């Protein structure tokens, strides 16, 4: 499954027609429950390390995908399941969603980015509390922590994700890609360096055909037709 997931990401990266990626589960009550512990018990130390390294690499590929990504979470998102959602740009959850990183209860730590992405999103102290205790939180608390951007009625997360994706897909594709680069790379460096990254990204959109189309559409009072170049 992990191999197929990585292959799907590779195809999306090369798909010029793609505009937004939505991750969801079609299994009722479960977004992603994390690792199969029965399978994990049968693994040697080498096999477990190899699997977690592969998982971390795949989630990093999702994180740096040039397209905007949205996790539509219904049900449980635990362990690697929460780490999967954290690798997306945006998160939407239904009212019955549950989140948690229970790894310390198994005498391990989150190994697919959880110790890095969670504190960057909700702050170090809150991330430590959730990881140290392994505590699960519901949708309301996840929203108050800033773990998710939107909280919907149960079963409506995917609908909201589609609504948001439609709005995003109407924007300039190259502009969205460059905005993602500027935000992601810029947030990892000091402000002065971040400004240089922003300038470089702005330079990419400044010479695009889409920029000219946007100006023309505004002047002609019509909807723009962006092509991503």
CATH number at residue 176: 1.10.12.10
- pLDDT > 70: what percent of the chain? 100
Per-residue pLDDT band for 37 (boundaries 50, 70, 90) equals confident
Q: What pLDDT sits at residue 174?
A: 93
Told to judge if 129 belongs to the known catalytic residues of this protein, a careful annotator would answer no
Contact yes or no for 125/182 (Cβ under 8 A): no
Q: What pLDDT sits at residue 95?
A: 97
Mean pLDDT of the chain: 93
- Within a domain: residue 226? no
Shared-domain flag, residues 162 and 191: no
Catalytic residue among 80, 94, 114, 214: 80
Q: What is the span of the domain harbouring residue 87?
A: 1-169
Over residues 124-168, the pLDDT tens digits come to 999 999 999 999 999 999 999 999 999 999 999 999 999 999 999
Nearest of 50, 39, 64 to residue 3 by alpha carbon: 50
pLDDT of 213 strictly over 90: no
Shared-domain flag, residues 102 and 199: no
- Within a domain: residue 227? no
Told to judge if 35 belongs to the known catalytic residues of this protein, a careful annotator would answer yes
- Compare 40 and 67 and report the one with higher pLDDT: 67
Shared-domain flag, residues 52 and 97: yes
Average pLDDT estimate for 43-59: 87
- Lookup result for tokens 């905005």: 179
Catalytic residue among 34, 35, 94, 112: 35
From the DSSP assignment, how many helices (H) and strands (E) are in the chain?
Answer: 11, 8
DSSP state of 207: T
Average pLDDT estimate for 2-16: 91
- Lookup result for tokens 């690697």: 80
Told to judge if 8 belongs to the known catalytic residues of this protein, a careful annotator would answer no
Shared-domain flag, residues 155 and 184: no
Catalytic residue among 77, 79, 85, 103: 103
- Lookup result for tokens 């391990």: 108
Shared-domain flag, residues 203 and 161: no
Told to judge if 3 belongs to the known catalytic residues of this protein, a careful annotator would answer no
Contact yes or no for 168/20 (Cβ under 8 A): yes
Radius of gyration, alpha carbons of the chain: 19
Catalytic residue among 71, 75, 83, 214: 83
Q: Of the residues 151, 169, 187, which one is the last residue of a structural domain?
A: 169
Q: Residue 62's CB: how many other CB atoms inside 10 A?
A: 22
Contact yes or no for 101/110 (Cβ under 8 A): yes
C-alpha 98 chain-centroid distance: 17
- Within a domain: residue 181? yes
DSSP state of 91: E
Shared-domain flag, residues 10 and 110: yes
Domain total for the chain? 2
């Amino acid at each position: 499954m992990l191999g197929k997931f990585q292959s799907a990401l590779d195809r999306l990266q090369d798909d010029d027609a793609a505009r937004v990626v939505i991750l969801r589960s079609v299994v009722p009550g479960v977004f992603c429950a994390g690792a199969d512990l029965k399978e994990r018990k049968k693994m040697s130390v080498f096999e477990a390390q190899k699997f977690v390294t592969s998982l971390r690499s795949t989630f990093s590929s999702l994180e740096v995908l040039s397209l905007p990504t949205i996790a539509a979470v219904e049900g449980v998102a635990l362990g690697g399941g929460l780490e999967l959602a954290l690798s997306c740009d945006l998160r939407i959850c239904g009212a019955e969603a549950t989140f948690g990183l229970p790894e310390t209860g198994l005498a391990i730590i989150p190994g697919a980015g959880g110790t890095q992405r969670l504190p960057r999103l909700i702050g170090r102290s809150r991330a430590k509390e959730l990881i140290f205790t392994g505590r699960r939180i519901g949708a309301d608390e996840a929203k108050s922590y800033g773990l998710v951007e939107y909280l919907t009625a149960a079963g409506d997360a995917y609908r909201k994700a589609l609504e948001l994706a439609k709005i995003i897909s109407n924007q300039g594709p190259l502009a969205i890609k460059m905005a993602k680069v500027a935000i992601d790379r810029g947030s990892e460096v000091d402000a002065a360096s971040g400004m240089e990254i922003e300038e470089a990204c702005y330079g990419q959109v400044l010479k695009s055909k889409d920029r000219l189309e946007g100006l023309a559409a505004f002047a002609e009072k019509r909807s723009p037709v962006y092509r991503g170049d």
